[in-house]
Amino acid sequence: MTKPVKKSVKKPAPRKAAPRKAADKAAKPARLLPAAKPRLLERLRARDAEIRRLMHISSVLSWDQDTYMPSKAVGERSEQLELLSGLIHDRQSSPELGQMLKEAGASDRRPLGPDDAAPVERAYLRELFRAYRRSTRLPRRLVTELAKQAAVGRAHWAEARKASDFGLFAPQLAVILNLVRETTKCLGYKEHPYDPLLDEYEPWMKTSELDKVFAGLRVKLRGLVERIVASGRRPDTSFLKAPYPVDRQREFSLTVLREIGYDFQRGRLDESAHPFTATLGCADVRLTTRYNPEFFNTGVFGTIHEAGHGLYELGIGAELADTILADGTSMGIHESQSRMWENFIGRSLPFWVYFYPRLKALFPHPLEAVRLEDFHRAVNAVQPSLIRVEADEVTYNLHILVRFELEKRLIAGDLQVGELPGAWNAQYQEALGVQPPDDSQGVLQDIHWSMGSFGYFPTYALGNLYAAQFYRTMKRDLPGMEEELVRGEFAPLLSWLRDKVHRLGRLVPAAELCRQVTGESLDPSCLAEYLESKYSGIYEL
Ligand code: ZN
């Protein structure tokens, strides 16, 4: 999953030009690829489909590595993934493909607006062109080496995390970081070396834009956290940290997935050290989760989060199958879907009005005497803490901002790998007022860097921002939504998401999608207002 956005803050408003543009359009053929090149699109699609299939094969191997593969197979598996990444790279950067894209007049032009004459073909050529340009800028050696080192890196990271010893992972991280820095040089950038990395996950987004958006968010979040802490109210969460037998957690997770509309004929749920969603094909989108036998939140909310990703991938229009457009439009939009289900829906009172009786039946011991309202308050408890994936909705974004700052410095060369644990701890002290007692609860908690994924973290916070804006619009469009959730009717909500977001795949870049769906540009105040309103209620602020 991955993709694009461009924000709006300083975007000019080409509105005035619209009438003329519309007139031009009317005079043009409705397709970008006219009769003179009848087979060009077909040829491009055949090449593209082959690349998609190789990527799906690669996903099968990665999914297997993270779920069922025996540990000693890691060496062979990394070579298999290296081979595939080379084959994919060869196809994506082939001169024949370049020639075809040139003949088709492909460019990275973004959507012109609602009057765009051939939005599907334009988007198709745009995405192919961007992938081609990116591939041709990266030497094959770098791509395959990074794939190989990332596979090895994951294994080193897992060992180091288990031993809670950053020193075991540091040499491999240094190797990966050097390759990533080389990548930024090859891809090129005008402002910040972090930009080309960000662009892979959030196309068109710039570091400078994120700096601005996040600065505003940081101030508002800290203010809210301070007021929550100062309120002195501490919801009782003791019953969440109690024995929750894993087989019953699994049963409940499967129930929730079925009820919210995840299709088990096109997916499945497995377990892995780090939950993820893997797209193995248009009819095969798999989820993983992990269960903590002593803590409720990890398993179920992790499952619901991944379900949000899975529903997005499964909802992409069938007409886009086997094309580069059959994918989420950006990781920020992808995360908006997972966070929407996990938090905006999955931690709402109506959701638990429906599910809580069944949860209580499965876990009578910790939950028998716990009232619904107290359970709801507990799963929404705000507490500055160490672990990102277990953080509440309010402090979660502060965890992301820590990583964003560290990544920028690592990529710019202002921070060395050996200095990372100290810098991590200092940032946590500053942002959240907590100190990790060891590396596994600190700098080693996330898998991303071990896989060479730099530039990914900010998309989690972007996801929360987009989710807030989508949620506000959705509630406006579906005034009966809360009553429907209480009755366990998830179909209207899912249909809305499919219609407005999922079916479009990568046709519409994130910034345009946000405007198209909500009528507004990306705006951090919407998330701030949502959190303010929700937590004022819970904490009686
Ligand atoms: Zn996610």
pLDDT at position 134 over 70:
yes
**pLDDT band for position 333 (cuts 50, 70, 90):** very high
pLDDT of residue 4: 32
pLDDT at position 441 over 50:
yes
Measured between its terminal Cα atoms, the distance across the chain in Å is 38
pLDDT at position 402 over 70:
yes
Residue 205 CA to ligand 1 centre (angstroms): 19
| Residue 232, phi-psi category: left (phi > 0), alpha (psi -120 to 50), beta (remainder) | left
Phi first, then psi, for residue 111 (nearest 5°) are: -55, 140
**pLDDT band for position 457 (cuts 50, 70, 90):** very high
pLDDT of residue 38: 67
Token readout for 307 is: 């379900």
What rounded mean pLDDT belongs to the chain? Answer: 91
**pLDDT band for position 135 (cuts 50, 70, 90):** very high
Q: Using the 8-state DSSP alphabet, how is residue 111 labeled?
A: P
Residue 157 CA to ligand 1 centre (angstroms): 20
CA dist., res. 84 & res. 433, Å (int): 44
| Sign of the Cα pseudo-torsion (101, 103, 109, 111, in order) | negative
pLDDT at position 9 over 80:
no
**pLDDT band for position 114 (cuts 50, 70, 90):** low
Count Cα neighbours of 137 within 13 Å in the Cβ-side half-sphere. 15
Lowest mean pLDDT among 59-73, 103-117, 333-347: 103-117
Q: Tens digits of per-residue pLDDT, 217-262?
A: 999 999 999 999 999 999 999 999 999 999 999 999 999 999 999 9
Lowest mean pLDDT among 28-32, 73-77, 102-106, 436-440: 28-32
Q: Tens digits of per-residue pLDDT, 147-184?
A: 889 888 988 999 999 999 999 999 999 999 999 999 99
Q: Tens digits of per-residue pLDDT, 405-421?
A: 999 999 999 999 999 99
CA dist., res. 201 & res. 282, Å (int): 20
Token readout for 467 is: 């989710």
Q: How far is CA 113 from CA 3, 104, 328, in A?
A: 19, 21, 20
CB-based burial label for 74 (10 Å; 0-12, 13-18, 19+)? middle
CA dist., res. 8 & res. 247, Å (int): 47
Residue 40 CA to ligand 1 centre (angstroms): 37
Lowest mean pLDDT among 32-36, 64-68, 189-193, 430-434: 32-36
Lowest mean pLDDT among 26-40, 86-100, 249-263, 527-541: 26-40
> If we measure between CA atoms, which residue out of 473, 461, 464 comes closest to residue 527?
464
Q: Tens digits of per-residue pLDDT, 56-75?
A: 999 999 999 999 999 899 89
CA dist., res. 370 & res. 367, Å (int): 5
Q: How many other C-beta atoms are found inside a 10 Å radius of the C-beta of residue 145?
A: 18
Domain ranges, ordered by start, for the chain: 23-163
Token readout for 215 is: 């600065």
pLDDT at position 20 over 70:
no
User: What does 60-85 look like in DSSP terms, one character per residue?
Assistant: HHHHHHHHT--GGGHHHHHHHHHHHH
pLDDT of residue 109: 79
Q: Tens digits of per-residue pLDDT, 367-382?
A: 999 999 999 999 999 9
Residue 274 CA to ligand 1 centre (angstroms): 11
Kindly give, in sequence order, each residue whose CB lies less than 8 Å from that of residue 512, ignoring residues fewer than 6 positions away: 6, 110, 111
Residue 262 CA to ligand 1 centre (angstroms): 16
Kindly give, in sequence order, each residue whose CB lies less than 8 Å from that of residue 263, ignoring residues fewer than 6 positions away: 314
- State the average pLDDT over residues 176-197: 97
CA dist., res. 194 & res. 144, Å (int): 21
pLDDT of residue 119: 78
User: What does 422-488 look like in DSSP terms, one character per residue?
Assistant: HHHHHHHHHHHS---SSSTTTTTS-SGGGGT--S-THHHHHHHHHHHHHHHHHHHH-TTHHHHHHTT
pLDDT at position 30 over 60:
no
pLDDT at position 15 over 60:
no
pLDDT of residue 443: 97
Residue 55 CA to ligand 1 centre (angstroms): 20
Active site residue 306: yes
Token readout for 223 is: 């203010």
- State the average pLDDT over residues 188-216: 96
127, 209, 306, 512: which is the annotated catalytic residue?
Answer: 306
Token readout for 504 is: 């479009």
Residue 309 CA to ligand 1 centre (angstroms): 7
pLDDT of residue 390: 84
Residue 339 CA to ligand 1 centre (angstroms): 7
Residue 306 CA to ligand 1 centre (angstroms): 6
Lowest mean pLDDT among 34-38, 246-250, 347-351, 504-508: 34-38
Residue 101 CA to ligand 1 centre (angstroms): 33
Token pair 């340009």 is found at 133
3 state DSSP class of 287: strand
Parallel, antiparallel or unpaired: strands 277-281 and 284-289:
antiparallel
Residue 335 CA to ligand 1 centre (angstroms): 5
